[in-house]
Amino acid sequence: MAKGGGKVVIIKKIKKGGHGHHGGSWKVAYADFVTAMMAFFMVMWILGMDENTRKAIEGYFSNPIGFKKGYSSGSSPLASGASPAQVQRDAMQLALRSLQQRRFEEVKKLLTGKMDSLHTQGLLSSKIEVTITNAGLRIELLESETGNTWFDFGSHDMKEQGKVALRIIADELNNLDNPVAIEGHTDAVQYSRRDYTNWELSADRANAARRLLEGMGIPPERIVSVNGLADKQLKFPFDPKNPANRRITILLPFLTAPEPATIDALKERLAASTPPAGP
């Protein structure tokens, strides 16, 4: 007590210092910023797609549960997965698939037109089929009724008509990035030699096509498989001796979208690459 019965007043002085240490909160903010930029890029990308693709993506984000039920058979890439990273990858895959589909259709139209022109000029007597399947772009060099347009009987040396056709095909394949798989097929007529069967013949013919395509500019690293399938995948199974079962098949599979980085992985990389804050 102070003299005179008055109260003692205690005054506390608070010393203000500099700004406190913020720790690693900025990393989270930066990761959120990167995520926002990625989302902005995805929106701009989607806006550049065709109308059907945009509607498919819009339908998913408007009603994910109903969209998944509507595509329970798995026909929509957006129907699988529920995580943000998976949804992002599915959207990328849908966009990539749509882009490749349009490119394959262009190549199909060009190849069909060029082959029809060769037929008209009498430079090609066999049929070449170009189809787009669920697996990718399929080009098949089918033998004619004579059975010796591409190769002589029992031979794996490609004839001139085959080289002309492969040259046109190679010119179009060089404009694509898809891998290339080559298959050789025979009909069900068995080869006369015991030490050289339809297996060897179909494999040798597929390899002959591979060597020609590589010589025409297809990079060897793009060719992912060369198979001889003999008569095990007949074009006309109810007519196994049909000469058209003898064919060379060139398949360009659809490319798949790469796995996107998840937000957690992004944060971990930021934390690992940032030096620890001082005391």
Q: What is the pLDDT of residue 78?
A: 46
Task: Tell me the domains of the chain and their CATH numbers.
Answer: 28-80 (no CATH), 99-253 (3.30.1330.60)
Cβ atoms < 10 Å from Cβ of 149: 22
User: For every one of its 279 residues, what pLDDT tens digit does the chain have, with 9 covering 90 and above?
Assistant: 555 556 666 666 655 555 555 556 676 777 777 777 777 777 777 666 666 666 666 665 665 555 544 444 454 544 444 455 565 667 777 878 888 999 999 999 999 999 999 888 888 888 899 999 999 999 999 998 888 889 998 899 999 999 999 999 999 999 999 999 999 999 999 877 888 999 999 999 999 999 999 999 999 999 999 999 999 999 999 999 999 999 999 999 998 866 555 445 545 655 554 555 554
Using a 10 angstrom Cβ sphere, with 0-12 exposed, 13-18 middle and 19 or more buried, the burial of residue 176 is middle
The residue type of 106 is E
Instruction: Transcribe 129-180 into DSSP letters.
Output: EEEE-SSEEEEEEE--TTS-SSB-TT--SB-HHHHHHHHHHHHHHTT--S-E
Q: How far apart are CA 95 and CA 256, in angstroms?
A: 10
Spatial contact of 164 and 115, defined as CB atoms under 8 Å apart: no
Which burial class, exposed, middle or buried, applies to 113 when counting CB atoms under 10 A from its CB (0-12, 13-18, 19+)? exposed
Q: Is the dihedral of CA 237, 238, 240, 244 positive or negative?
A: negative
What is the model's pLDDT at position 266?
47
**What are the residues facing 139 on neighbouring strands?**
130, 250
What is the structure's pLDDT at 248?
97
Give the containing element (helix H, strand E) for 227: strand 223-228
Q: Which of 172, 163, 171 is nearest to 124 (CA)?
A: 163
| Average model confidence (pLDDT) across the chain | 79
- How would you class 245 by CB atoms within 10 Å of its CB: exposed for 0-12, middle for 13-18, buried for 19 or more? buried
How confident is the model at residue 126, as a pLDDT? 82
What count of residues does the chain have? Answer: 279
Strand order in the sheet with 180-185: 127-132, 136-142, 247-253, 180-185, 223-228
- Count of CB atoms within 10 A of residue 252's CB? 23
